[in-house]
Structure 1
Amino acid sequence: MSINFAKIDTPALLLDLDKLEKNIDDIASFAKEAVVAVRPHIKTHKSIKIAQRQIEAGAVGLTVAKVGEAEIMVAGGIKDILIAYPLAAKPKLERVKKLMEQAKVIVAVDSVEQADLLEECFDPKNPLNVWIKVNSGLNRVGVDPNEQVVELAQHVKGLSGLRLDGIFTHAGHSYAASSTEEIETIANEEAAAVVTSAELCEAAGIPIPNRSVGSTPTFKIAGTVEGITEIRPGNAVFYDMVQVGLGVAKREQCALTVLSSVVSVKKNRIVIDAGSKTLALDQGAHGNASIAGHGFVKEHPEFVIARLSEEHGVIPVEGTVDVKLNDRLTIIPNHACVVANLFETYLVYRDGKVIDEWKVDARGRLQ
């Protein structure tokens, strides 16, 4: 059964509830089989309602990137939050202190300097939980694995305002992989960076009970490595064309689509009302080259959205095509995370019928 597209104004963000639930259940089933906890990253969906469904499916807590996201999720009733970002600015740390009155909050740490700034802000009577962020190859934030982790752990252990009980990493460079074999290699390196670092810390007398890995392309591999205790997939709640290009998911699993309208038909091009402010310009943040254009057009797989301006998407065509003004085109985004952040609400549907409208609660929470 198809949605009655004519009644929906465009561009609109559509969420297939059946696919969403299957994706959440798939993550939960994998975690149960692998005997690991799930702490999904909400930067993909930014929705309290989706986060609550993840918790109901067994997630032990959530991962966020920003304090603003954490504030929204705590207000929505979530009681265990990892802020997977190396916070150091005092205004943000003061907000974290307030959050700690309502929930367990964990903050990433990746340097001695940052740890010392955290120590200045937090009381030994109510210490801040911290996890060391390890660089497993993305070369963004994170301390190098093994010896440098131990050095940082020893320093943190001596600070009375901090409580260290975890090590984590994110293999975001897996998004640039050119084969499933390369993804597998990255996943095993990701797990090794965490497990070996944790083992070295424990050999030095510092217990590390939480050993966490992320990345949608790698979690089903890294999550099976002995010693890993937790996975943090984000994009896997929706999937998108980057994941399809990587071979991680099929188009049929993609729960998120953008509904657009044809606003102009010319002899060599079709123009839709979905531009960069709708579809974003992201074709793979870490170098993925497996996708063409700016999203997959479900009704016309042969179409390539070749060019975006702010409010226009341009599809080059040759000859006569069966498309007219006001026709609707449904697009699977290249990168679901950035597209969701551009909308205020999801139109949630099941069996071809829109049944609800959910707020993208944490959209724009950049601080």
Structure 2
Amino acid sequence: MQFRGDLPTPALLLDLDAFESNIATMAAHLRVRGKGFRPHGKTHKCPEVARALVAAGAIGCCAARLAEAEVFADHGIPGLLITTAVIGRDKIARAVTLAKRAPDTIFCVDDEANARDLNAAAQAAGVTVLVAIDLYFGRTGILPGAPALALARVIATLKNLTLMGLQSYDGDAAHTTPFDARKLRTDGSMAQAIETKAMLERDGIACPMITGGSTGTYRFDSENPGITELQPGSFVFMDLDYGRIGGADGPEYRDFKNALTVVTTVVSRPPGFAIVDGGYKAFSTDRPFTPRPVDLPGVTYGWAGDEHGRLNLADSPRELKVGDRLEFIPPHCDPTVNLYDSIYALRGDRVEAVWPIAARGKSQ
């Protein structure tokens, strides 16, 4: 049996009580409102996390890339939705192979030539591939409205593709601040998706699904009668970035608990500072703020290279010495998770399980 203090550092830790609370909160919220729940696997890249979500009522799992989806399929996770278009001969061949063994997998498309290539490969393999039209809200996708309708008309002629609906993810809405502005942003984007669905249906094209939403917008999207399912991801772990977006009751977003931390060890103690063994290789570096130490108010973290972090102890509430172990909330959970091979799942201080991050590095 292992305990928190036994683990080599740096290591990725998961507080199971907080993690299970986060899942229960989101699942119950969506269930009461009659929304499908297809959380995004790009956050955790971990089949055990996906299984916990399916056990809580998720209809499947989103994947950012084909390679992620292949890993989830290998572990028996159903209802996959690949949110990035599959482009190129090799990836299309892999997509068709995946559709054969996991026929409920949905692939996003936003380009006519790509849709035709996917259909040709599916026809040659004798399979039908499920697709969703990816709508543009600032990242990938085709413009809502007439352009999306034109693509839907093409898909309707392709006998080995079946249109399932619209992928309607507005990534910028998730972190729009303050709270009321976030509602306006996502309501405006989703209104375009809903009108696009209506245009398709007036044209005689079935469009049963509108999927989208995020940890930051789930409150609003779940109240929208036109949205059929939501795909939040970060809520399972949370991070500093989401904590800063603000909630209905103030500047801190408190709908979900911080369940994910990185544990480090103090390896050196120069005057006024403590050096820990967690640097650029232990935390995501894509945000303009640094990891926050847990239960150490007044202490700030600064980058000190690939392997190290520097803590300013000028206002530390307690003395630190070499060998002390400190935990940090990461700035951004998704890319931090991708730095590790496994997650140590803890119940209190006891390691209950070690979960492989099986889709780590699967960016193809």
Same fold (TM over 0.5): yes
Paired AA for residue 303 in structure 1: V
Which shows bigger deviation, 337-346 or 173-182?
173-182
Q: What's the CA shift for 1:123?
A: 1.3
Within-5 A mapping of 1:182-197: 182-197=181-196
2:260 equivalent in structure 1: 256
CA contact (8 A) 1:281 1:308 kept: no
**Secondary structure, in 3 states, of the residue corresponding to 1:130?**
strand
Look up the equivalent residue of 2:132 and give its one-letter code: W
The residue number in structure 2 matching 1:364 is 361
In structure 2, the CA distance between the partners of 1:181 and 1:15, relative to structure 1 (3 Å rule), is same
SS class of match (1:318)? coil
1:318 and 2:314 matched? yes
- Indicate conservation of the 8 Å contact 2:266/2:277, yes or no: yes
SS of match in other structure, 2:358: coil
Report the counterpart of residue 283 of structure 2 in structure 1: 279
Q: Which amino acid aligns with 1:200?
A: M
SS of match in other structure, 1:212: strand
> In structure 2, the residue corresponding to 1:45 is in which secondary structure?
coil
Whether the 8 Å CA contact 1:133–1:141 is kept in 2: the answer is yes
3-state SS of 2:101 partner: coil
SS of 1:357's equivalent in the other structure is strand
Q: Please identify, of 351-360 and 335-344, the stretch whose mean Cα deviation from structure 2 is larger.
A: 351-360
Show the counterpart of 1:301: 297
State the 1:6 CA deviation. Answer: 3.3
Letter of the 2:308 counterpart:
H
3-state DSSP class of the match of 1:199?
A: helix
Greater Cα shift, 265-274 or 198-207: 265-274
Residue 226 of structure 2 aligns to a residue in which SS?
coil
**Cα displacement string for residues 70-103 of structure 1 (whole angstroms, at most 9, x for unaligned residues):** 1111111123211111112111111111112221
1:308 Cα offset (Å): 4.4
2:123 aligns to what SS in structure 1?
coil
Q: For residues 44 and 198 of structure 1, what CA distance do their matches in structure 2 show?
A: 28
Match of 2:117 in 1: 117
Which aligned segments of 4 or more residues in structure 1 are displaced greater than 6 angstroms?
none
Following TM superposition, by how much is the alpha carbon of 1:168 offset from its aligned partner in structure 2, in angstroms? 1.4
- Partner deviation per Cα, 1:143-165 (whole Å, 9 max, x = no partner): 11112111111121121221112
CA distance in 2, matches of 1:164, 1:306: 49
Give the aligned partner of residue 286 of structure 1: none
Matches within 5 A, 1:1-367: 5-103=4-102, 104-123=104-123, 125-136=126-137, 139-247=138-246, 249-250=253-254, 253-283=257-287, 293-318=289-314, 322-367=319-364
Q: C-alpha separation between the residues in 2 aligned to 1:191 and 1:262?
A: 48
The answer (yes or no) to whether the contact 1:25–1:57 under 8 Å persists in 2 is: yes
* Identity across the alignment (%): 29
Residue segments in structure 2 that go unaligned for 5+ positions in a row = 248-252
Aligned equivalents of 1:131 and 1:89: distance in 2? 18
Q: Find the aligned partners of 1:351 and 1:304 in 2 and give their Cα distance.
A: 26
- Aligned counterparts of 1:86 and 1:306: Cα–Cα separation in 2: 38
Distance 2:281 2:348 in 1: 29
Gaps (5+ residues) in structure 1? 284-288
